[in-house]
Amino acid sequence: MEKWFVFSLGITTIGLLLGMVYQRISQAADRRKYPPQGQLVDIGGFCLHLNCIGQGTPTVVMDAGGGAPSISWGLVPSEISKFTRVCTYDRAGFGWSDPNPSNPRTSQQNVDELHLLLTQAEINPPYLLVGHSLGGVNMRLYASQYPEEVVGLVLVDSSHENQMTSELWRRVKRMSWFYQVLRIVSHVGVVRLIGEMNLLPMLKDLKRDIQKYPLAVQTLFDTFKSFCYRPDYWATASSEFANINKSFEGLQSVTSLGSLPLTVLSQGSQDSQMSDERFQRWEALQLDLTKLSSNSQRIVAENSGHLIPLDQPELVVNAVRQLIENV
């Protein structure tokens, strides 16, 4: 019995070591295969990825949704770059950015880091901010804290501080716990292995759904997949979801943005996982966002679910263009 235990322990140890070697080698290969677009900017002990293209003013600054890298904007940045400068970036721990595990991933932390990033990279205001989903929370908070820098705001199916029900909060806590599990096993290559076997549910679903988008968007899948194989990705996503209430609490005092030009772009097609009641509640919260400014408008993306930047990218581009023309 003792010999069997020692043998099993030895086999397990060897398996874990081989898994760690597999993960390290594969992760290094990913870095060579998928180099960052743009630049990595040191903001004090770690680097954030920033990619600015095009010319003109104001500079459009874009923040992606929860757990999403900057490439999730798809074709939107390249289209905006045809008429002004646009900058996308990866929040710490996502995409090509280094993690910052010393601080919880709250919206306030993201705002602080984004402001430092733009300063360090000498991307001077004025800014027109664009935020999708949870990125909309970050950009709304940024606009409230640096009003002298911001000339317009586009909220793309943005999260709302009152959206959390007890059911959603239980779901978020389950996701946060599951992400921590994935963080642990990704160190020994398990996430990479099941991902390559097309057995990781979120990647399997994404691979299926992305087929309906243009080829230029489909080619981003492998890059995103390489991000998901890193332990830092899951640790950051878990922290972001675990601290979502704290992020929403930071918005409680942001009840007005004055007369800041604001466009609220909302999904018009009900996502398959949404009940009728949830969809109606979401619509009411989207309408409530227009009250943030006396100079606001709402546009409904009739043919889009939550992923408006991929479903109807032209609506995001046109919303940005219209705000720029107005300001």
Q: Give the pLDDT confidence of 296-314 residue by residue, as tens digits.
A: 999 999 999 999 999 999 9
Which residues lie below 8 Å from residue 60, measured CB to CB, with a gap of 6+? Answer: 80, 84, 85, 86, 87, 127, 128, 129, 130, 320
Q: In what order do the strands lie in the sheet with 86-89?
A: 39-42, 47-53, 86-89, 59-63, 127-132, 150-156, 262-267, 296-301
Q: Give the pLDDT confidence of 236-274 residue by residue, as tens digits.
A: 999 999 999 999 999 888 889 999 999 999 998 887 777
pLDDT tops 70 at residue 71 = yes
Average per-residue pLDDT in the chain? 90
Q: How wide is the angle at C-alpha 137 spanned by C-alphas 221 and 106, nearest 5°?
A: 85
Give yes or no for a contact between 144 and 257, defined as CB atoms under 8 angstroms apart.
yes
Domain 39-167+240-326 carries which CATH code?
A: 3.40.50.1820
Domain boundaries along the sequence of the chain? 39-167+240-326
- DSSP assigned state of 169: H
Look up the pTM and report it.
0.92
Q: Which residue did the predictor score with more confidence, 171 or 262?
A: 262
Q: How far apart are CA 234 and CA 195, in angstroms?
A: 14
Q: What is the reported pLDDT for 1?
A: 57
Q: Which residue did the predictor score with more confidence, 141 or 20?
A: 141
The candidate with the shortest Cα–Cα distance to 149, out of 181, 175, 114, is 114
pLDDT tops 70 at residue 15 = no
Q: How far apart are CA 83 and CA 33, in angstroms?
A: 31
pLDDT tops 80 at residue 6 = no
At 281, phi and psi to the nearest 5?
Answer: -65, -40
Q: What is the pLDDT averaged over residues 113-140?
A: 97
Q: What is the reported pLDDT for 157?
A: 96
Q: Give the pLDDT confidence of 178-225 residue by residue, as tens digits.
A: 889 888 988 888 888 888 888 888 888 888 889 999 999 999 999 999
